[in-house]
Amino acid sequence: MSAPTIAQQKQSFVVKANQPAAEIQPTMWGLFFEDINMGADGGVYAELVKNRSFEFDTPMMGWKEQKAEGSANTVLIHNRMENNPTNRRFARIRVRNEGENFGISNEGFRGIGIKQGSQYNFSVMARQQEGSNTSLIVELVNAKGEKLGSATVNPQGKEWKTYTASITATGTDPKARLNLWAKGKGEVDVDMISLFPKDTWKQRPGGLRADMVQLLADMKPGFLRFPGGCIVEGRTLDERIQWKKTIGDVADREVLINRWNREFAHRPTPDYFQSFGVGFFEYFQLSEDLGAEPIPILSCGMACQFNTGELVPMDQLEPYIQDALDLIEFANGPVTSTWGKKRADMGHPAPFNMKYIGIGNEQWGEQYIERYKAFETALTAKYPDIKLITTTGPFPAGKEFEYLDNTLRSMKQTRVDIIDEHYYNTPQWFRENATRYDKYDRKGPKIFAGEYAAQSVAIASPENKNNWHCAMSEAAFMTGLERNADVVVMASYAPLFAHVDGWQWTPDMIWFDNLSAVGTPNYQVQKLFSTNAGSHTVPVTLNNEAVTGQDGSFVSATVDKKTNELILKVVNTSGTQKNVDFKVDGVTKLNSKGVLTVLQSDNLDQMNTIENPRAISPAQSQISVKNKNINLTLKPYSVNVVRVKMLGMSTI
């Protein structure tokens, strides 16, 4: 694309503000969550200790023994799999030589983020062996080993109990460590060694990182899709996510290898496991906190087809279907039901009011259709009102896509409510596909644009950047989604989160380190659209045609019936400053003042970083409106949103 210029071009658009065409679903702009790039463990799950219960493949991964050379003191890993199959291992700290500084140290997730003045809550499950009286000194240290705070816990007796302590940090460091020193002769057993900031989202103990959730809340998302992504399917069927294993006491949630641990040879993450501290209960709770519809996606009995593609035989699909039925009961059932009671026991007697469920993630082939039909029959029989989301695979075109799209649309006996489409493609593809849904069947299934992101280099290339070129091109495409709101009912950028030191996939919507999080330009675009959705689309044309890229202009217009506002989204993907007019028909009058919000950069490579988080951020100004005419000067490479009150209008 060319360098920006200020030569003026004139475009005159016509808006028919009294001709609402489609209702914009409250679900229109939402979130896709997957535990990729340390999005959950090491990310939004605020646990600061890695491998807190020694369940990783290598039990001491993330931990280091601290002792003098030749010391007789030891740490032994015990496995009690017969008694406790979901939390098998614990560590026995054996102090033979009392005088020595001896203990274990945890490195956190690429360090532990500690902030001066903040309180950190430590907990450990522990018990003493016969005749032992060993206390534990908990210590936070910075990367240089200097103390940032400490506390002592004194485990008592032979039964497992949880002991807690809190520490207020005296310094800040994104790469701090946690030390646990053993004092006094004996043998003390430890498990579930945990450290959380006190200030989690909504101050929930053992909760989520407040700064990261706040960025989500600021978007006012319409839905939360969880828990993925390919992670749902698993590399093998054994490694798929099974929601029942993610609820209840966190100590009993079975740790599972993360699918992204070894997915990319160029970005190996051998220390990536799922603790399920964020499990299905927490996803429902987060959806509720955000005012977003919960959209769980479940395995349909097909492991990731980019990996093993394992299939569960049709005659053994029943447990998978039962999981889906039980999940609906867990979310919505009365407290007297088996699964509704489990929800109530976790502190949420009221139903979560789940309305959608996704069957499979990115499946393809006739094996999917076979399995989907079996799910549909069982789900429709018991829960006819729950909307079913089906997949058309990983690509938005091609043989596999066409097979599934045609088959799903032509099935007569099987219900298909919403089809999930994914597109990871070039910025140019996004601009060229703003018309994608113009020709879709208006009476067919609805569309969930469930995963999309412009790739600056190539799909899943580690060189991809969250730059302005990609974000602006997504905005152009999104005007097409909005214009087709009668067909497209949900859309979400993917993936959501990435740790700057622990990612596997780029681009991502929000990047974070251990102390802060930053919304990319793509985040700013998503937020601008989701906080300015409106309730109904209205026609906006240039020479009687929809505005889908003429001279680099992409426009969608909506009205908000509640506030009686006209909302214009105008994307100028050209490198030229433009003067544009909107002639608004169907209103008696517009307010003489409106609000213009602009995202813009002359530099298409511009990104937001932890160091410079607001390089691309919204700039707001007031604009004057004359009669029924809105005149705007559009900067080169800009995404613009105008809101203006409609006064004394004809009926809408």
Kindly list the residues in this chain that would bind ligand AHR in the complex (CB under 6 A).
34, 36, 228-230, 361-362, 394, 451, 494-495, 505
**Quick one: 178 or 449, whose CB is closer to ligand AHR?**
449
Is residue 362 annotated as part of the catalytic site, yes or no?
A: yes
Least separation in angstroms between CB 221 and ligand AHR: 17
Segment holding 82, helix H or strand E: none
Dihedral angle, C-alpha 333, 337, 338, 340, nearest 10 °: 30
Quote the CA–CA distance of 328 and 353 in Å, as a whole number: 9
Return the residue nearest ligand AHR (CB atom): 229
- When the beta carbons of 295 and 587 are compared against ligand AHR, the nearer one is 295
Comparison of 36 and 250: residue with beta carbon closer to ligand AHR: 36
Backbone angles phi, psi at 356, to 5 degrees: -130, 155
Contacts of 327 (CB under 8 A, 6+ apart): 243, 280, 296, 298, 339, 354, 357
For residue 633 the two structure tokens come to 């000067």
CA distance 474 to 469: 9
| Spatial separation of the C-alpha atoms in residues 107 and 121, rounded to whole Å | 17
- The beta strand positions in 33-88, using DSSP E, are 63-66, 74-79
The burial class, CB within 10 Å (0-12 / 13-18 / 19+), for 74 is middle
| Nearer CB in complex with ligand AHR: 34/107 | 34
Q: How far is the CB of 34 from ligand AHR (least distance, A)?
A: 5
DSSP-assigned letter for residue 437: G
CB of 466 closer than 8 Å to CB of 526: no
Beta carbon of residue 295, minimum distance to ligand AHR (angstroms, whole number): 14
Q: CA-to-CA distance for 226 and 337, rounded, in angstroms?
A: 24
Closest CB 433 distance from ligand AHR, rounded Å: 18
Which residue, 101 or 426, has its beta carbon nearer to ligand AHR? 426
Q: Looking at beta carbons only, is 122 or 243 nearer to ligand AHR?
A: 243
Q: How many CB atoms lie within 10 A of CB 652?
A: 17
**Per the structure block, which two tokens stand in for 396?**
């938005």
Asked if residues 296 and 232 have their Cβ atoms less than 8 Å apart, the reply is no
Q: How far is the CB of 624 from ligand AHR (least distance, A)?
A: 43
**Of 618, 638, 424, which Cα lies nearest the Cα of 527?**
618
Cβ-based burial of 86 (10 A; exposed 0-12, middle 13-18, buried ≥19): middle
Closest approach, Cβ 383 to ligand AHR, in A, equals 25
Nearest to 475 by CA among 293, 643, 290, 641: 641
Nearer CB in complex with ligand AHR: 25/258: 258
Torsion of CA 14, 15, 20, 26, to 10 degrees: 130
Say how far apart CA 287 and CA 291 lie, in whole Å: 6
Q: In whole angstroms, give the CA distance from residue 144 to residue 332.
A: 50
- For the CB of residue 499, give the shortest distance to ligand AHR in the complex, in Å: 15
Q: Are 199 and 121 in contact (CB under 8 A)?
A: no
Out of 362, 400, 474, 565, pick the active-site residue: 362
Residue (107 or 362) nearer to ligand AHR, CB? 362
Show the 3-state SS of 556-612.
Answer: EEEEECCCCEEEEEEEECCCEEEEEEEEEECCCEEEEEEEEEEEECCCCCCCCCCCC
Q: How far is the CB of 382 from ligand AHR (least distance, A)?
A: 28
Q: In angstroms, what is the minimal distance from the CB of 634 to ligand AHR?
A: 32
Catalytic center residues: 362
